[in-house]
Amino acid sequence: MELPRIIFAGTPDFALASLQALVAAGHVPCAVLTQPDRPAGRGKQLTASPVKKFAEAEGMPVLQPATLRDDDEVATLADLEPDVMIVAAYGLILPQAVLDVPRAGCLNVHASLLPRWRGAAPIQAAILAGDAQTGVCLMQMEAGLDTGPVFACAPVDIGAHESAGRLHDRLAAAGGELLVTHLDDILAGGLEARPQDDALATYAPKVRPADAQLDWQLDAAELERMVRAYNPAPGAWFMAGDERTKCWEARRVAGDATPGTVLAAGADGVVVACGQGALRLETLQRPGKRAVTAAEYAGQIDFSGRRL
C-alpha cells in the first residue's frame, strides 16, 4: 500500500508531538510548514521553531512562508501533490486556496473538545472556566475558525491543581496518539466527520499579558485558576509596590479581610485576602530574579501592614 503524501504545518511544542507521532508511525511528511524564525531570549537571536529543528534533524524539507495568501506559495504547495495537510498550532490562517490543495483537505489537531473552546488559547480557557475535563479533537478544516466537522476526540481530565504547562504536555501527547490512530481510516474514507453544534460553541481568545493580572477583588478560587492557567505563559502577576511580581503557584485558603490585605507572610506562604476567601501564594518571582518559595520572598520584602 502506497503511503499518503503528507504536508505537516505546525510551529510550537504542541505541534511537535503530532509530527513526532507521525514519523514514529512511518508517516514521514513530504514537506513541513512552520513559522519563520523569531527573535528569542535575552540576546533576541533568531531562533527556529521546535517543529523546524526536528524536521531538519530528520531530513524533511522545511518551508517558512510569512503568509499563505501569496499565489506563488499556494503553487509551491500544489506542486507537492499532497493527499492531506495536517495542521497543529501552526499560527497562520489557511485561506481557502490552501485548504483546497490536498486531495483529502486539511486536518487540524485541536486542544479542546469542540465545539467548546474554539480559538487560540483553549488550554488556558478550560482551566480558567473550571472545566473538569478537556481533550483533543481531529477536525476537518474549513474557512471558519475551528468550525469544521470532527472525526474523533479523546477526553482528558484536568487535575485539580494542574498548570496549563502540564496540561499542554498531556494534550500534545494525546493529540499525536489520536492522529496516528485515525489517520489511515480518515484517508480511506472509513471514518465520517460529525458537524459541530454551533449553539454549544465557546471561544478562547489569544491571551494577553494584561489578562494575567491578579485582581484581589475576585474570588480566591478564580484567582487560583488564573495562576494555573497562565503558568508558564505569560505568568500571573500583581503589583507589590512598584514591582510587577509573578506568581507561579497558589492555593485558595480561608480568610476574610479587605481584598489585597496581606494576612500572613512566612514559611507557609504569603496569604492575601480576596473578594471571597484568600489566596496563599507559594512560588513567586521578582522582576529580573529567579522564582523562589513564598517564604524566601517574604524574607526579601517587609509585608507588615501591606495591602497589595
Residues 198 and 227 in one domain: no
CA distances from 194 to 109, 151, 175, 210 (A): 15, 6, 18, 37
The β-bridge relationship of strands 45-47 and 38-40 is antiparallel
Q: Is there a single domain that holds both residue 110 and residue 160?
A: yes
The pLDDT tens digits of the residues spanning 237-272 come to: 999 988 999 999 999 999 999 999 999 998 888 999
Residue 282: inside a domain: yes
Question: Which pLDDT score is estimated for 266?
Answer: 84
State the CATH number of the domain containing residue 119. Answer: 3.40.50.170
Tell me, yes or no, whether 157 and 256 share the same domain. Answer: no
Q: Are residues 262 and 246 in the same domain?
A: yes
- What amino acid occupies position 121? A
Q: Which regions of the chain are under pLDDT 70?
A: 1
Please check whether residue 141 lies inside any domain of the structure: yes
Judge whether 305 lies within some domain. no
From 187, 204, 221, give the residue that closes a domain: 204
Please indicate, yes or no, whether residues 284 and 140 belong to a single structural domain of this protein.
no
Domain stop point among 204, 233, 255? 204
Residue-level pLDDT at 268: 83
CA distance 123 to 292: 26
pLDDT of residue 306: 82
Is residue 78 located within the same domain as residue 178?
yes
Residues with Cβ within 8 Å of residue 54, at least 6 apart in sequence: 16, 19, 20
Structure confidence at residue 1 (pLDDT): 56
Q: Are residues 171 and 95 in the same domain?
A: yes
Through-space distance between the first and last CA atoms of the chain, rounded to whole angstroms: 65
Please tell me whether residues 166 and 28 are part of one structural domain: yes
Residue 18: inside a domain, yes or no?
yes
Number of domains in the chain: 2
Beta-carbon contacts of 67 under 8 Å, excluding residues fewer than 6 positions away, are 73, 92
Nearest partner of 172 among 53, 88, 62, judged by Cα: 88
Q: Assess whether 176 and 91 both reside in one domain.
A: yes
> Does residue 220 share a domain with residue 129?
no
Residue among 178, 139, 141 at smallest CA distance from 156: 178
Q: Does one domain contain both 199 and 225?
A: no
Q: Is residue 1 part of a domain?
A: no
| Neighbouring residues of 242: CB distance < 8 A, sequence distance ≥ 6 | none
Q: Are residues 200 and 237 in the same domain?
A: no
| CATH (domain of 227) | 3.10.25.10
* Domain end point (choices 156, 186, 204): 204
Q: 215 lies in which domain range?
A: 209-300
Q: What's the whole-model pTM score?
A: 0.95
Structural domain contains residue 116: yes
